Copies of this chain bind each other. A is one copy, B any other.
Amino acid sequence: MREAFHGQLAELGDQLAGMCSWAGEAMRRATQALLDVDVTGAERVVSADAELDRERARCEERAQSLLALQAPVASELRTVLSSLYCAEKIERMGDLAKHVAETVRLTHPEPAVPAELRETFAELGRLTVGMAEQVRDLVAGTTTNGVAEVNDRDDEVDALHARLLATITGRDWTHDARTAANLALLARFYERFADQAVSVAKRLQFIDTGEMPNTANGG
């Protein structure tokens, strides 16, 4: 019974790690499509998102059946509940990558990102994809010192996001209001993706410590 329980718990962890990889890959492809003004690539990201939604539903079913059949307590209960929480956040990361891709479709054939901001969005892509990978490694247990690193990258994302908004809303802005509005939303999608990764990292820490983290990340 206990052995089966631990096997199922490990499978749940594998599922979550797989979801992180999926979300990171979605953001990598969405950013590439954004920079390349590649509407076909963007469409692919949009339609692939349904699979992440299904995987999340499968995680929920597994977690519920673990709770119903094994009635875990203490740290094992925290692990199962945290898995439910994380699955939701990771699915949301996929949604946000999809929103980036949808913006490509919305502005096509015009690029959503003006030439002088391409490098900023490329960097937002690198940072957020890196965060998804860090969180995957935390979930898989192949790293333990990851929470601080995830937070560091989140600070970088926040700084880039703030700088972008200042550029868009500044006096020197030379593009039109439509471009500004789309860029403000795009920047927010990256920032929120990063926030979800932080939430997952904090929640994983909670499994170890039993101390409820402050899950409000102002997002």
Contacts and interface: CB of A to CB of B under 8 A. Distances in A.
A218 B91 CA distance: 11
A87 to B, nearest CB: 10
Interface in A145-202: 165, 168-170, 173, 175-185, 188
Contact of A188 (B53, B85, B92, B185): B185
A172 to B, nearest CB: 11
A216 interface: yes
A14 interface: no
B77 A212 contact: no
Copies of this chain in the oligomer: 2
A115 interface: no
A149 B77 CA distance: 36
Contacts of A170: 178
B219 A95 contact: yes
Q: Per DSSP, are chain A's interface residues mostly helix, strand or loop, or mixed?
A: helix
A1 interface: no
A19 to B, nearest CB: 13
Contacts of A85: 84, 88
Contacts of A133: none
B216 A53 contact: yes
A56 B64 CA distance: 21
A185 B49 CA distance: 23
29 contacts: A49-B216, A50-B216, A53-B214, A56-B215, A61-B212, A64-B81, A67-B67, A67-B77, A68-B74, A68-B77, A71-B71, A84-B84, A84-B85, A85-B88, A88-B88, A168-B177, A168-B178, A169-B178, A169-B182, A170-B178, A175-B177, A177-B177, A177-B179, A177-B181, A181-B183, A182-B184, A185-B185, A185-B188, A188-B188
- The 6 tightest CB contacts between A and B, nearest first, are A71-B71, A177-B180, A169-B178, A181-B184, A53-B216, A180-B181
